[in-house]
Amino acid sequence: MEHYPVVVIGAGPAGLTAAYELMKRETSAIVLEQADKVGGISRTEVYEGYRFDIGGHRFFTKVSEVQQIWQEILGDEFIKVPRLSRIYYRGKFYNYPLSLLNTFTNLGFVPSALIVLSYLKARLQVKLNPGKEAETFEEWVTERFGARLYRTFFKTYTEKVWGIPCSKIRADWAAQRIQGMSLKGAVINALFGSQNAKSLIREFDYPLLGPGMMWERCQEILEMRGTPVHLNTTVTRIERVGTQIKRITARQGNRTFQSSADHFISTMPVSALLRCLDPSPPQEVLQAARGLRYRDFLIVSLIINREHLFPDNWIYVHSPEFKVGRIQNFKNWSPAMVPDPSKTCLGMEYFCSVGEPLWQMSDAELIKLATQEAIALGLGVKRGDVEDGVVIRQRKAYPVYDAEYRQHLQVIQDYLETFDNLQTVGRNGLHRYNNQDHSMLTAMLAVRNIFGEEHNLWTVNTERSYHEEFTLDDARSKPVLAPPRYPESPLSRYRPKATIF
Bridge partners (DSSP) of residue 419 are: none
Weakest-pLDDT range from 2-6, 177-181, 442-446? 177-181
> What mean pLDDT is reported for the chain?
87
Give pLDDT tens digits for 36-49: 999 999 999 999 99
Predicted pLDDT of residue 487? 35
> Cα 282 to chain center, whole Å?
30
Q: What is the crossing angle of helices 405-416 and 283-291, to 10°? A: 140
CA torsion 72-77-78-84 (nearest 10°) is -160
Helix (H) or strand (E) holding 72, with range, is helix 64-74
Q: Cα(155)–Cα(306) distance, rounded to whole angstroms? A: 33
pLDDT exceeds 60 at position 180: no
Q: Are 143 and 134 in contact (CB under 8 A)?
A: yes
What's this model's pTM, rounded to 2 decimal places? 0.87
Q: Are 467 and 461 in contact (CB under 8 A)?
A: no
Task: Tell me the domains of the chain and their CATH numbers.
Answer: 2-42+63-77+209-291+403-494 (3.50.50.60), 98-196 (no CATH), 294-399 (3.90.660.20)
Q: What is the crossing angle of helices 137-145 and 171-178, to 10°? A: 50
Give pLDDT tens digits for 347-377: 999 999 999 999 999 999 999 999 999 999 9
What single-letter DSSP state applies at residue 129? S
Give pLDDT tens digits for 98-152: 677 788 888 888 988 998 899 899 989 888 888 788 889 999 989 888 999 888 8
Q: Cα(191)–Cα(453) distance, rounded to whole angstroms? A: 46
Mean local confidence (pLDDT), 210-214: 96
